[in-house]
């Protein structure tokens, strides 16, 4: 499993440890490093990175992982890792290996941060870490307890039943660009209630049958996303509706940078970098993983007094989300 580690710029021996995961499923955490909160970023169409003064590693020791296997620069066997629940043990195993090799971080406060599909990853992984802590403490297994004190999720996809409906609401009511008129708004709300909700009700939590969840995922995404965008007739970027669909912001030049032979040699990469792995995406899609709700897992984590932050933008897709929990 491929990872990057960046020591805190300020007081690294005292700073907390944080793990950042991008979503997808199957999207690399290099997105986080080079486009979001990492120590380097690309300004405009520059082909070389520059120092990011707002990096999270100003005050935290940061880990970025490409997971599940096959994502980004990660290699290994990905067979069977086709749900969020199946991915959780591998991230926990990675953290155990990390703490084996860097024992100075075993007692640090630990935060798990993620985004987008991280609305699935974050609650489930955090809940899994806490369960493993209990097993270690009770003597059932050996390992390092992870001092999880914080969970943060940006623009999270947590509860599809609530959020598929929000696609239509946001498209109609957002403050920047009305994407559908009132007639279309009512049309898609009716489709949601008639076509989407009954299928989502058959896909409950993480125990829902794969076939039922896959059917719910395909139907709801087709109606509430694909057909809504087509019906809109308005040009907009799904990540920032204030710009056009062909505009790219932020720059994608970091992808070319990571695929330079000299960069590969310096970082030890052994495969071509892809921002998102479609094979992984479709594996998760075949199980209907995105149609499952992780609101109960989130509630369990919060009940364990893990400080939880959920934040969203108001001008972007992810996922047309006027949503709070």
Between the alpha carbon of residue 233 and those of residues 64, 171, 176, 229, 248, the distances in Å are 38, 12, 16, 7, 20
* pLDDT tens readout for residues 248-299: 667 789 999 999 999 999 999 999 999 999 999 999 999 999 999 999 999 9
pLDDT of residue 323: 38
CA–CA separation, 248 and 45 (whole Å): 10
* pLDDT tens readout for residues 237-256: 877 888 887 776 677 899 99
Q: Give the pair of three-digit tokens for residue 314.
A: 């108001």
CATH number of 3-158+249-311: 3.40.50.1820
pLDDT of residue 205: 57
What SS3 state is found at 123? helix
What value does the mean pLDDT take over residues 51-77? 94
pLDDT of residue 325: 31
Domain spans, the chain:
3-158+249-311, 160-232
The mean of the pLDDT values for the chain is: 92
* pLDDT tens readout for residues 189-200: 999 999 999 999
Residue 3 pLDDT > 60, yes or no? yes
Nearest to 196 by CA among 178, 177, 180, 215: 215
What value does the mean pLDDT take over residues 9-14? 97
Residue 206 pLDDT > 60, yes or no? no
Overall pTM surpassing 0.85 (yes/no): yes
Alpha helices in 138-181 (DSSP H): 160-173
User: Going by C-beta distance under 8 Å and a sequence separation of 6 or more, which residues neighbour residue 239?
Assistant: 316, 317, 318
Burial 236-266 (b: 16+ CB within 10 A, else e): bbebbbeeeeeeeebbebbbebbeeeeebee
């Amino acid at each position: 499993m491929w990872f990057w580690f960046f020591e805190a710029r300020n007081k690294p021996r005292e700073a907390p440890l944080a793990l950042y995961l991008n979503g997808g499923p199957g999207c690399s955490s290099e997105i986080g490093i080079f486009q979001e909160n990492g120590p380097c970023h690309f300004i405009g169409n520059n082909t070389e990175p520059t120092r990011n003064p707002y990096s999270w590693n100003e005050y935290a020791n940061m880990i970025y992982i490409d997971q599940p296997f096959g994502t980004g620069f990660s290699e290994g066997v990905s067979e069977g890792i086709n749900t969020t629940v199946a991915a959780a043990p591998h991230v926990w195993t990675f953290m155990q290996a990390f703490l084996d090799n860097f024992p100075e971080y075993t007692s640090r406060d630990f935060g798990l941060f993620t985004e987008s599909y991280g609305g699935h990853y974050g609650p489930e992984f955090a809940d899994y870490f806490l369960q493993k802590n209990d097993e270690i403490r009770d003597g059932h297994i050996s390992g390092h307890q992870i001092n999880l004190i914080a969970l943060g999720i940006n623009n999270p996809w947590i509860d599809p039943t609530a959020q598929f409906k929000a696609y239509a609401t946001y498209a109609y009511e957002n403050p920047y660009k009305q994407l559908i008129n009132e007639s279309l708004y009512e049309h898609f709300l009716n489709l949601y209630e008639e076509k989407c909700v009954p299928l989502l009700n058959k896909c409950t939590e993480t125990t829902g049958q794969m076939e039922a969840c896959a059917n719910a995922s395909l139907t709801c995404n087709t109606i509430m996303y694909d057909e809504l965008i087509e019906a809109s007739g308005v040009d907009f970027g799904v990540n920032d509706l204030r710009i056009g669909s062909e505009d790219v912001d932020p720059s994608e030049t970091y992808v070319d940078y990571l695929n330079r032979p000299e960069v590969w040699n310096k970082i030890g990469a052994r495969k071509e970098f892809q921002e998102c792995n479609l094979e992984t995406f479709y594996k998760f899609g075949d199980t209907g993983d995105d149609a499952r709700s992780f609101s109960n897992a989130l509630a369990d984590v919060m009940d364990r007094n893990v400080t939880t932050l959920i934040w969203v933008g108001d001008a972007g897709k992810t996922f047309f989300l006027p949503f709070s929990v």
